Chain A
Amino acid sequence: AQSVTQLDSHVSVSEGTPVLLRCNYSSSYSPSLFWYVQHPNKGLQLLLKYTSAATLVKGINGFEAEFKKSETSFHLTKPSAHMSDAAEYFCVVSDKDRGSTLGRLYFGRGTQLTVWP
């Protein structure tokens, strides 16, 4: 079975300090992993994705994530938070479903990031 656990429902940081959003996954297959960001009342925007190439993945807006198979983790980081980073972040795993070959997405419950001035 595939699942995603986002370890923090809320994270608060000061502007200019590092951001760490934690994600653990379980997967029966070799997974593809994603981070999406959602601003209030908006759709989801893709930040970055891992698809079995380099384990350190760079995304948009200065975010990056490292795939660690031994720890089944895919934590999202940014060296210096900006006010505009305040949003909800979703960690997502995709596997090919055994029955249909559809790349189903399994979402974590989200982490709300607050950035203080």
Chain B
Amino acid sequence: DGGITQSPKYLFRKEGQNVTLSCEQNLNHDAMYWYRQDPGQGLRLIYYSQIVNDFQKGDIAEGYSVSREKKESFPLTVTSAQKNPTAFYLCASSKGHADTQYFGPGTRLTVL
């Protein structure tokens, strides 16, 4: 059963803590993406990776970090430097860098 998985579904953290969100895909896609969704704002690109061991900043990368050590995995770390981390985070992947993107189910992060 192919697809994109994100874990956990819900995440609660105290202010000042770093947290890591998981994203795994078994679609054999080269490109992966992280988006942040806030109510009424659509989706905004945080980071993307077109190939293993390479990634680029998106529009709102400040306070976030990523790694791409394996083709299947693209974890996102929300650091304490992110001023307003409470949001819904969506991971996506595509076969190539300009192909249709497919989305995971999302992780809702709440910082208390």
Which of B56, B92, B103 has the most chain A CB atoms inside 10 A of its CB? B103
SS of A interface (majority): strand
Interface size bracket, B side: 20 to 34
Report A41 CB to chain B, min CB distance, Å. 7
Total inter-chain residue pairs, C-beta < 8 Å: 52
Count of chain A residues near B, Cβ 8 A? 23
User: Among A43, A102, A108, which residue has its beta carbon within 8 angstroms of that of B104?
Assistant: A43
Asked if residues A41 and B103 are in contact (CB atoms below 8 Å), the reply is no
Asked if residues B42 and A43 are in contact (CB atoms below 8 Å), the reply is no
Residue of A nearest to B99 (CB): A103
Report A99 CB to chain B, min CB distance, Å. 10
Report B103 CB to chain A, min CB distance, Å. 4
Interface residues of B in 89-112 (CB under 8 A from A): 90, 92, 94, 97-106, 108
User: Among A34, A42, A103, A105, which residue has its beta carbon within 8 angstroms of that of B105?
Assistant: A42
A46 within 8 A of B: yes
Asked if residues A94 and B43 are in contact (CB atoms below 8 Å), the reply is no
Chain A residues with CB under 8 Å of B108's CB are 41
Interface residues of A in 82-100 (CB under 8 A from B): 90, 94, 96, 100
The 6 closest A-B pairs by CB, nearest first: A103-B98, A107-B42, A43-B103, A44-B103, A43-B105, A107-B43
| Chain B residues in the interface with A (C-beta under 8 A) | 4, 6, 40-45, 48, 50, 56, 88, 90, 92, 94, 97-106, 108
| Chain A residues in the interface with B (C-beta under 8 A) | 9, 34, 36, 41-46, 49, 90, 94, 96, 100-105, 107-110
